Structure 1
């Protein structure tokens, strides 16, 4: 029997990997958008805070952040609970993994969204305001559609890297695809076959992602390419 019957277990882990990736993406998009707004804010403290966030997060390896936020966070919770005489709750590995990866890639999304917003011609936004549109309406009708077009190439790259970074959650005990693969490898003693299957599954996920994101890029570029802009 192929992989001694461990293939369904690995596929189950692949589903969890996708769940982690999707939830982490949502967190990173929210943080990235907030970070971009702060960087473009006229408030210097907000600019400095966003700059510190994007610089520090991108300068430290992802694995280090995973260990610091999971194990360090648990130690902090334990200390606080002990001080107040309470029972310390255990951090859920899924929540910890999602928040950590989202926190890390929020820094990359910050730069992606900041650059995309800056690429939108200011004259168009000013024209919208002069026409009598509210700032919120200008953002949703003029800035956002063009921002998406400019952000998609970098966003696509961030997403592909994020998917591969989900493998890190296995080190904190989450039963994702890599965790299941490690178990299968230990039992079957077929590390090459096991990791070849895992590599193929990651490749399938990223290939489908590339096709979908390429379609989105073409969709948001319609009319622009035709006009030669």
Structure 2
């Protein structure tokens, strides 16, 4: 009995520390989204999280480190991005054998991710890290996720050559932001367009030759509604 109490106490303290960490990250995210990097101070974060300034520094060390961890949580919304394989939709993708439905799940999940990343990147502006190390880290995380989807498509026999290249070049946060914030597209428009585009590019019939994929120049015809091309939506995404 003597040993049980310290163990329970340590467990309770770990839980409290984890909860404090989450409160700080959530507060920092809200403030960064509202005011940007330069305007967001550690004092503001501490007050919003209901902790002392010293606590923020004790947990994260520096403002830069705090920012990095906030960015890492934006992808999934409530957990570090490297935990994406633990999400229920991963099991859905692993079990799905219909290529079109697999792409629909992918587009749904990826659009949800972009809906968080896009405003965050916009709010931070020039403060968003663009150094080679940060860019490489983001690319690795994205490519791991996209690579998983490509692997599933390959497993069910729906994969043409250059699939990874196609997904990377058309499915970008920049294209999503451009079309949904500047070109007047709804999120539903984006999902429909991207699903149709990727289906046309990646889901060729097994009897089709490798070079039978639709040309990327037909993007605008894949956009939802005949008015999209007159808006310049396809060229807007293509320019990215």
TM-score (norm 2): 0.30
Greater relative contact order, per chain length (Cα 8 Å cut-off, separation 6+) = 1
Q: Which has the higher helix share?
A: 1
